[in-house]
Structure 1
Amino acid sequence: MTTSNIKRFDELTGQVLGVLYEQFPVPHFLALGKLVPDGYSYDETSGGDAPNEQGLFFFACVDWLAESGYLRYKEKNHHYGYHDGVLTAKGLEVLKAIPESLSTGPTLGDQLIDASKSGAKGMLGKVAEQALSIGVRIASKQLGLPD
C-alpha cells in the first residue's frame, strides 16, 4: 500500500518542526540524509548519490513550510539540505499550543519531539496536522476571516 502524499507530508513536517522546536532558538542544519535516510539514490550521470523522489519530496515539504511562514533558513543546498533553519514566530506559536482536546498537557512541539524520538511516524503526522490546522486558524484570525 502506498502512503498518500498528504500523510507523507504530515509525517515529514512533524519531523522537521520537531527538530526545529527542540533546537529553538538555535539555527539548525536540516539535513536530507538525516531526516530522510533513504532520500538518495546513485546517479550514473554524476557518478555519485543524488536526491531521489523521496529526497525531492523532502525539499518540496521544507520549501512549502518556509513559504507558508512556519520556518526560515539562510541557504538551501539542493543536494544536502537547509542551512540555519529556525522556527518563525508563527511556527513557534503553533508548536507551543496545547491541543484543544486537552486542558493541560504537553505542547504540540513537545509531542513532536517525543514522537520523533520514539519513531512513531503516525503520531508525527497527526500532531503535525493539528499544528498546521492551528496555523491556518491563526492566519484566518489575523486576516479577519471566520474560523
Structure 2
Amino acid sequence: MNNIDAFNIAVAEILGECYREFPLRVRLSKLDIGETIKIAMGDDPDGVYNLSEKEYEIAEEAMNWLMEAGYIWSRKPDNRISMEGVTLSPKGLEILNAVPETLQEKKTLGDLISGGVKTIGKDVATTSVKTVLTYGLKLSLGT
C-alpha cells in the first residue's frame, strides 16, 4: 500500500462528506475512513478493527492534517476513534466550490468528491485531492 494514495483516499472521503453535509457538522470515524482506504486499495475488510493497522493510522493522521492545515474545523478533535462536530472551514469551502479549468465536466471539486470514494473510485479521488491541495496551496500563497 502506498501511503500517499491512502492519504489521498482519506482526504477525498473526509472532504467529500463535509461538503455533502455542509453547513451541518458531521462525525468523522477513523474506522469508516480506514475501511474506505482498504476497499479502495483492493483489500477486503475482515470486519475486525485493529486500530494499529496502517489504514486506520492514515485515516487518523489525514483528519488531523486537514484540521491543522485549516481545511476543516472540529469541536472535539481529540477523540482517538472519531472527530465530532466537523465542518469545512472557509478555506475548505472556497476550495471545494472551485471549478478547475482542467475539468471537462464543469463541476465544483466538492461536487466531484461528495459522492464518496466508493462511488467515484480511487483514481478520480486521488486526482481530485491533488487538485484540491494544489489549489489550497495557491490560495494560501496568494497566487
**For the residues of structure 1 that align with 2:102 and 2:120, how far apart are their CA atoms?**
23
**How far did residue 6 of structure 1 move?**
1.6
**For the residues of structure 1 that align with 2:141 and 2:105, how far apart are their CA atoms?**
25
Query: Which residue does the alignment assign to 1:133?
Result: 134
**For the residues of structure 2 that align with 1:103 and 1:63, how far apart are their CA atoms?**
32
**How far did residue 101 of structure 1 move?**
1.4
Task: Choose between structure 1 and 2: higher strand proportion.
Answer: 1
**How far did residue 56 of structure 1 move?**
1.4
* Deviations, residues 62-120 of structure 1 (Å, cap 9, x unaligned): 11110000001111311x21001100000000000001214871100000023535150
Where structure 2 has 5 or more consecutive residues not aligned to the other structure, the ranges are: 36-44
**For the residues of structure 2 that align with 1:68 and 1:12, how far apart are their CA atoms?**
15
1:36 partner SS: helix
- Per the alignment, do residues 117 and 108 of structure 1 end up closer, same or farther by CA in structure 2, a change over 3 Å counting? same
Query: Which residue does the alignment assign to 1:120?
Result: 121
In the TM superposition, 1:1-147 aligns within 5 A as: 2-3=1-2, 5-37=3-35, 38=45, 40-41=49-50, 50-75=51-76, 76-78=78-80, 80-102=81-103, 105-114=106-115, 116-141=117-142, 147=143
Question: What is the CA RMSD across the aligned residues, in angstroms?
Answer: 1.9
**For the residues of structure 2 that align with 1:110 and 1:73, how far apart are their CA atoms?**
22
TM-score (norm 2): 0.83
- Per the alignment, do residues 103 and 125 of structure 1 end up closer, same or farther by CA in structure 2, a change over 3 Å counting? closer
The structure with more radius of gyration: 1
1:19 partner SS: helix
**Residue type of the partner of 1:122?**
D
**For the residues of structure 2 that align with 1:120 and 1:32, how far apart are their CA atoms?**
19
**For the residues of structure 1 that align with 2:34 and 2:66, how far apart are their CA atoms?**
16
